[in-house]
Amino acid sequence: MDETSANEIADYFLNFCHEHRDVLTNLRLQKLVYYAQAWYLALHGKPLFADRIEAWVHGPVVPSLYQRFKQYGWSPITENPKAPSLDKSVANHLDEVFSEFGKFSAWDLERMTHQEEPWLNARTGLAIDEEGHNIISPDAMWSFYRKLVAVG
């Protein structure tokens, strides 16, 4: 399978939400994309996409996606992108991620990521409200979420 991009993952989630009359804000979308990457790493030992993820004040963020959707602020994203052509196994993974995490609000997802080691460790030395752009490494995500797979 060719590697996907964070934009394709975002487009998939946006299409899914539009089809199911659900809404995504930039904040909620960022967390879903983060969990898609984290759990893909844990389950497959390789990244789903190459785009970097940073530990921002409100949780994990893919900067390029933030820039793409920042005009929406805290409002729902109304962009209706073309559905990406993804490998069936990737689409199934994203469906599972949405099934598990899509039921949570942006606020709930932010709180969840704030309790997990990858974000916490990347924020080391920063005040809770201090801007930061430290990278959450794929290795940190793999290590943390792989332990959860083993427990499950």
- What is residue 3's predicted lDDT score, i.e. its pLDDT? 77
Give the residue ranges of DSSP H helices in the chain.
6-19, 26-44, 63-69, 88-101, 106-113, 117-122, 138-151
Q: Is there a contact between 57 and 112 (Cβ–Cβ < 8 Å)? A: no
Domain that holds residue 52: 6-151
Confirm whether pTM is higher than 0.75. Answer: yes
Residue 1 lies in a domain: no
Residue 77 lies in a domain: yes
Q: Which two tokens stand for residue 39?
A: 């759990």
If one counts the domains in the chain, the total is 1
What angle do the packed helices 88-101 and 26-44 form, to 10 degrees? Answer: 120
How many Å apart are CA 89 and CA 87, to the nearest integer? 5
- What would the pLDDT profile of 13-51 be if each residue is shown by its tens digit? 999 999 999 999 999 999 999 999 999 999 999 999 999
